[in-house]
Chain A
Amino acid sequence: MKIKLSKPNLKIPKIYIYGIDVIKNLGFFTLYIIITLLSIAFIIAPAIKHFKKNQKQYYNIKTQYLNVKNNYENVLESLNKLKKENAKIIAAFRRDFDVKNFKMFASKFMEIKEIKKDKTKPFKKDFIKTVYFIKATINSPKDFYDFIDAIKKYKNIIRVYFPIDFTKKDKKINLTLKIEHYRLKDKKALKAEEKAH
């Protein structure tokens, strides 16, 4: 005996409102929502996360950059100010000793008979000092004091150093003293100085 089973009706019923298939449109709407949600979850959200991370990093770095730049500008400004204030000293440390010019400068205070160059030595890390022995004649000790006072304004950095010898001769005083000229160490200049001795 054969039992006939009726086939189940799997067909989606069609509901039309004003000629629109409601079920199909509802299906497409659901599909649209699913695609949108999936896109947000797997495409847009990671992109926003990545973007936000990079944006935050950028602004952090930019703040850091502005701080560093500000600091740099402050240091540069203070350096320029310092250079301006000490321009005379900076320039003086870069000048070579000019015997003729020194004689001319000292002639206001003494009559220089002889300037003898001695040795050049390194001084501290970046400087050199050259020793000169001077034989001169002065009218009174005041000339010597004035000479020392005037050295402050001279274009080179000069130190008056011992031994100093005062010998009275007639109405004048014979003076022997040592001076040290300080300047920046310039490798070429130092080699030239060393060769000269």
Chain B
Amino acid sequence: MKAYSFIKPKKKPIFKEDTKLWLIFITFSLILYIFFALFLALKAYFFKQDSQKLLKEIEKLKKQTTELTLQKEFIYTQKAIYEDIMIKNALVKQQIKNLLDLIPDPITLEKFYIDNDKLIIYGITPTKDIYNLLMLPPLESIFEKTTTYFYKLPNGWYKFKSENYIKSEDENQTK
């Protein structure tokens, strides 16, 4: 037997209103959690990317710093060489000056040849004694070996050649 009703049947929803609300709320929360996690993961990824960029930059800067340090050292080397050369020039000047100061008044200097380890002097002296008394002692105190040759001139004076040798400390120092 069939039952009949006077009212229209209402569609029965699968979920009730409050159930729907809960489901939406829970799903929304879950999506929010996932988005938050994704956001953090993305931030972490960017941090990692930036870190890698910085690491590359650090390597580059370190390499450049090393190059700059080398450049600095090279400038110091150039400066040291320059100063060394200038000091040696001043020494040459002083050596020549000292040599000329060494010549006493009665003796006339005609020529001198100075090298690293030797000095050859040509000159004229009124007497052998003046030479031996005034010029020979300082030469002997400076040089290890001193040899003098005298040639008598027609006027009675002497032409001399003095050969002086030393073991040079300065010899080719800049080689």
Contact = CB atoms under 8 A, between A and B. Distances in A.
Interface stretch (B33-41, B128-136, B153-161): B33-41
Nearest to B90: A148
B152 interface: no
Contact of B68 (A32, A79, A151, A182): A79
Interface residues of A, number: 66
A162 B115 contact: yes
A44 B39 CA distance: 10
Given A58-B51, A61-B51, A82 B40 contact: no
Contact of A127 (B22, B38, B76, B81): B81
Question: What secondary structure prevails in chain B residues at the interface with A?
Answer: helix
B116 interface: yes
Given A20-B18, A32-B22, A47-B37, A168 B111 contact: yes
Contacts of A148: 89-90, 92-93
B48 to A, nearest CB: 5
Interface of B: 18-19, 22, 25-26, 29-30, 33-34, 36-38, 40-41, 43-45, 47-48, 50-51, 54-55, 57-58, 61-62, 64-65, 68-69, 71-72, 74-79, 81-82, 85-86, 88-90, 92-93, 96-97, 100, 109-116, 174-175
